[in-house]
Structure 1
Amino acid sequence: MNIFTHLKENEIRSLCNHINMPTEATDETIRVMNTYDFSNLQPYFDCLFDVKKGDIAVKEMNEILKDEADKGFILLATSLSAALYTQEQYHEKGISDDIFYDTMGCFSRFVKEHKVSYGVYGFDRFFWSYRQLAQSLFRIGTLEFELAVFPLEDIVVNGKTLLKKNEPYLSIHIPSDARIDKANNHDSYHRANAFFAKYYPEFHYNMFYCNSWIISPNLKKVLPETSNIIQFLSDFSIIKVDEDEEGYKTWVFKNSNLTPEQFPEDTSLQRNIKQHVLNGGKIGGARGVIDKNLF
């Protein structure tokens, strides 16, 4: 695939418009498209469409661009060009543009999250986003679902094997703009089952799986039962808890380097977690599963 085929202003602007990219970020992307020679990235472009080779593209392109001030927007332009190839593949499979734009909305979301964290628009999630380009990860409703194979040892709870080593499963990811109330969560699970049965019938999975701070049972100590987070985690059978995992800092406080004393208190979630941690409590992270047949 040729990196330049879709690297055209009208196509990139149209895509950015469909995925609600901030105008300033779109303009920056177009600027680097008109000033940077992308030909040195061509040898690794095809890797973006293969989830098993995506990390090669990440490593090699990052090395090529390590001294470029516009590195983030160069990688964003490359990714958006690749996304338009992915759209063609969606069309061949009959997958709707609604799913495509929802899935590729990750790029706008990442750019906006960069602004929240650093005060300027930017793109620093190239290490992750090849999953969307390679049709390994899809946004279906409020949640994202990634095709995966379980790499760990069998999960056995109360004598029952829930997930076997090398067994296919759907990994759940929670976008920062997800509305995770019970109705939206269950709608996503239902729709995901229908989607993968229709478009990936060869992918035989039994479990949804999540590894995140957002399903840590410790959150029940700081949030009411009616909270959306508690509604989300209550669907999971928790199989492991890591008390010392601190991923919540990035997602709740937008900065993993803050001490508890520095945590902002702009939301009730931030205030509750801050008070809990200052009092010696932990949030941690957890792994959990949901039987797909429940939906």
Structure 2
Amino acid sequence: MTVYKTAREEILKDWQANLQDFASEHEFPAEATESLQDALEIIGADDRLYAIFRTWEENYWKDPDMDYQTLWATLEALDGTDGISKYTLELLFIIGISRHTRELYEEQGISMEIFHDSMADMHWKLLECHKMYGIWGTFVIEWFPWWFRLKRFALGRLQFERITFGDEYEKDGLILHKDSPVINVHIPSCGPLDPEAFKASYAKAAEFYKEEFQDQPLVFVCNSWLLFPAHKEILPEYSNIRAFMNDFDVYKSNEDNGDLWRIYYGAEEKGFENLPENTGLERAYKKWLMDGHMAGYARGVYLYRPE
């Protein structure tokens, strides 16, 4: 007897195949892959969840600049449905639409290497979420629209997007105004910040954006805890973080402990005396905090000059 599959069954089969391929390509932990597959199966069996996923998937196909804020609010409101965390729902959705993102890359002639490296950000966010909350998902969903609008790209070790400067700056002949075009830099939590790797990333970015900056200086900007000026006291001179800082003229900084989670993944909320000391960075920051200091972040400018 011939068995005919419904359109929904075919769609669910495609969703699961895409998830399996994505998890394999980006080397998700086996436990994460199994957990996500189980959750996706539940979504497929729930009429309401299936309809929401399918509707918004179609919205993305029609317009990559769709209303992400409404989508995120919709998924947030579903937190706990059928025992699935909103963090898992959100990650599963963006993995699902990544199939179409691949097609957009191909249409625009952007390499599959850049696509792979860009989508790998979901791996790093998956691991961060599990370290923070014990959940396989992502807790920073508002971070992702720029990836799927093809406005942010991973070029080697670092991630970049073209923005306007949004501030005033003048030093050593470089003048930047609020509307000056610059390249914003992000540093994913994917391992050591090796100087050779981040310098290679700047070179790749210079090549990638060269048509947009033909008659203008190529300026990178970064707003990050990694540029916190006190690192010159906290960390040894040979540290990779200090090497990363050296390219930037840090012109604005603030003391704030809000980014300590990037080092301790929530352990900082249990008291500084209980902070782990498994790495040199953890030990150095624990001493700094126990001595009564605060962490912080800063903004810096890097005028790129090819070596």
Task: Please report the TM-score for the alignment, with normalisation by the length of structure 1.
Answer: 0.86
Q: Distance in 2 between matches of 1:35 and 1:253?
A: 33
Alignment of 1:115-154 (within 5 A): 115-150=130-165, 152-154=166-168
Alignment match, 2:28: 21
Alpha-carbon offset, residue 60 of structure 1 = 3.3
Alignment match, 2:244: 232
Q: Distance in 2 between matches of 1:10 and 1:203?
A: 46
Indicate how the Cα distance of structure 1 residues 202 and 10 shifts in structure 2: closer, same or farther if over 3 A, else same: farther
Alpha-carbon offset, residue 122 of structure 1 = 3.1
Alpha-carbon offset, residue 14 of structure 1 = 0.9
Alignment match, 1:61: 75
Alignment match, 1:250: 261
Q: Is it true that 1:177 corresponds to 2:190 in the alignment?
A: yes
Where do 5+ consecutive residues of structure 1 fail to align? none
Alignment match, 1:287: 299
Alignment match, 2:102: 87
Where do 5+ consecutive residues of structure 2 fail to align? 1-10, 44-48
Number of residue equivalences: 287
Alpha-carbon offset, residue 161 of structure 1 = 5.2
Alpha-carbon offset, residue 102 of structure 1 = 1.3
Indicate how the Cα distance of structure 1 residues 30 and 259 shifts in structure 2: closer, same or farther if over 3 A, else same: same
Indicate how the Cα distance of structure 1 residues 215 and 11 shifts in structure 2: closer, same or farther if over 3 A, else same: same
Indicate how the Cα distance of structure 1 residues 131 and 205 shifts in structure 2: closer, same or farther if over 3 A, else same: farther
Indicate how the Cα distance of structure 1 residues 56 and 292 shifts in structure 2: closer, same or farther if over 3 A, else same: farther
Q: Which has the higher contact order (CA 8 A, sep 6+)?
A: 1
Indicate how the Cα distance of structure 1 residues 116 and 194 shifts in structure 2: closer, same or farther if over 3 A, else same: same
Of 8, 17, 22, which aligns to 2:15?
Answer: 8
Q: Let me know the Cα RMSD of the aligned residues.
A: 2.7
**Residue 117 of structure 1: SS of its match in structure 2?**
helix
Indicate how the Cα distance of structure 1 residues 9 and 223 shifts in structure 2: closer, same or farther if over 3 A, else same: same
Which entry has the higher C-alpha Rg, 1 or 2?
2
Alignment match, 2:90: 75
Q: Is it true that 1:261 corresponds to 2:273 in the alignment?
A: yes
Moved more, 139-148 or 256-265: 256-265
Quick check: 1:215–1:288 contact (8 Å CA) kept in 2?
Answer: yes
Alpha-carbon offset, residue 28 of structure 1 = 2.4
Moved more, 119-128 or 130-139: 119-128
Quick check: 2:89–2:137 contact (8 Å CA) kept in 1?
Answer: no
Of 31, 52, 72, which aligns to 2:38?
Answer: 31
Q: Distance in 2 between matches of 1:5 and 1:168?
A: 43
